[in-house]
Amino acid sequence: MSIRRVNRFEQERGFITAQGIKRVARARDVSGLDAQVSQQVKQKPLKSLEQVEHRLLVVLHTKAGEVSTLDREVMYVARALAEIQGATEVHALVFGQPNEGLSWADYGVDRLHLVTDEVFDHYVPQAKAAAVSELYHELNAQRVLFGESELGDSDLARRFAVREGLSFGGELYEVTETSVRRASGNQRYQAQSELPQVMALEAGTTGDLDLEFVTAADSSVASAGVSVQAPQEDKFSLPSGDIPLVEADFVISAGNGVTNMDTFNRLAELLDATVGGSRVVVDDGKLPRERQVGATGQIVKASVYLAIGISGAVQHLQGIKDCNYVIAVNNDESCDMVKRADVSVIADAEEWMQGMIAKLEAAQ
């Protein structure tokens, strides 16, 4: 078989391992979700390895207890590499307490190592790199994979590679069983190299996948094994309005369906959410240019993106591809934002916002 790419494959086709077995299929239409899907998931065969010769390590941080789309992609890439090579386990080192019910077995991880010590909530990059090193040696891991994320994983990947003197590839958008690629020169050139020992992957390598098996995803709490002093630091929080969109965790965004910006701004204030908007709203002068979300605006990586009266044009959706949960409020149930959203409210925007404001004010 000649096609062995881990990513940039057509997802309908999946990818083909050295043994010629199709392992990954595109995520099914999940609009009907819930019982039906979880039943299907239960029926998937359990992946078990009789012999383990290699181990791959994925390092990630939870955000509000959740795992980002990017981190799921990194796990899928690790799984795909493991499948191609055979006799390879995928381990995940997770900083932060994950929410219960995360389906690690569906992400292709064989074993979880949770690092939940509160000291890691502080800015302790050397200690984190030391924790990764410890597990790397304990597992004798062949490669370590990170997401290119401002949450700290980009920084950690580089620190770890330098600390261990390992080969490093960053900003990777393509991985095959033998090589990696990254774009350079404003996407005009591509740099290709052999598979490095430490890899930092860009978002969009695989998209969300639906593996044809589940893993045991055995959970164990890893000890960081390093004595870490929490640094003296003053914690302070910025008003949400002062947080740049790219760093905001909770974004409320207005589209052309928002007729009253005063109502919108009041709701944003009560929710303590950072404000964004579609290009139409920005072009209308209702929000400053730096608040535009989308391909020609800001790329948002929020845990929650609340889109009010936004149709979901492709340029806008490009700006929210890394958001964990999208909530759409729209009076058109067939619009693309509703299709993209995890939760949708089909309602008049002004009426819904007024209702929310009344409830939030009453709760104050």
Ligand X SMILES: Cc1cc2nc3c(=O)[nH]c(=O)nc-3n(C[C@H](O)[C@H](O)[C@H](O)COP(=O)(O)OP(=O)(O)OC[C@H]3O[C@@H](n4cnc5c(N)ncnc54)[C@H](O)[C@@H]3O)c2cc1C
Residue numbers of the site for ligand X (CB under 6 A)? 255-257, 278-281, 292-297, 309-311, 313, 315-316, 319, 330-332, 335, 348-349
Longest dimension (CA), the chain: 64
Closer residue to ligand X, CB minimum distance, 98 or 294: 294
Closer residue to ligand X, CB minimum distance, 117 or 332: 332
Closer residue to ligand X, CB minimum distance, 108 or 255: 255
DSSP 188-230: TEEEEEEPPSEEEEPTTSS-SEEESSB---EEEEPP--S--PP
Structure tokens at 359: 């409830």
Minimum gap (Å) between residue 50 Cβ and ligand X:
50
Minimum gap (Å) between residue 249 Cβ and ligand X:
20
Minimum gap (Å) between residue 344 Cβ and ligand X:
11
Q: Give the helix/strand (H/E) hosting 268.
A: helix 261-271
Residue with the two structure tokens 């012999």: 51
CA dist 150 and 121 (Å) reads 15
Closer residue to ligand X, CB minimum distance, 4 or 266: 266
Strand residues in the chain grouped as ranges (E):
24-26, 54-61, 88-95, 111-115, 143-147, 168-175, 179-184, 189-194, 198-201, 209-211, 218-221, 250-254, 274-277, 304-308, 325-330, 343-346
Minimum gap (Å) between residue 267 Cβ and ligand X:
14
Closer residue to ligand X, CB minimum distance, 115 or 310: 310
Minimum gap (Å) between residue 206 Cβ and ligand X:
24
Closer residue to ligand X, CB minimum distance, 156 or 353: 353
Minimum gap (Å) between residue 31 Cβ and ligand X:
18
Minimum gap (Å) between residue 323 Cβ and ligand X:
14
Closer residue to ligand X, CB minimum distance, 196 or 294: 294
CA dist 222 and 114 (Å) reads 6
Closer residue to ligand X, CB minimum distance, 212 or 350: 350
The amino acid present at 165, given as its one-letter code, is G
Q: What is the CA radius of gyration of the chain?
A: 22
Taking 3-state DSSP, the helix, strand and coil percentages for the chain, each rounded to the nearest 5, stand at: 30, 25, 45
- Residue with the shortest CB distance to ligand X: 294
Residues 6+ positions from 215 with CB-CB distance below 8 Å: 46, 47, 79, 90, 104, 105, 107, 108, 109, 110
Minimum gap (Å) between residue 322 Cβ and ligand X:
15
Minimum gap (Å) between residue 353 Cβ and ligand X:
9
Closer residue to ligand X, CB minimum distance, 155 or 247: 247
Q: Closest by alpha carbon to 249, among 60, 58, 65, 59?
A: 65
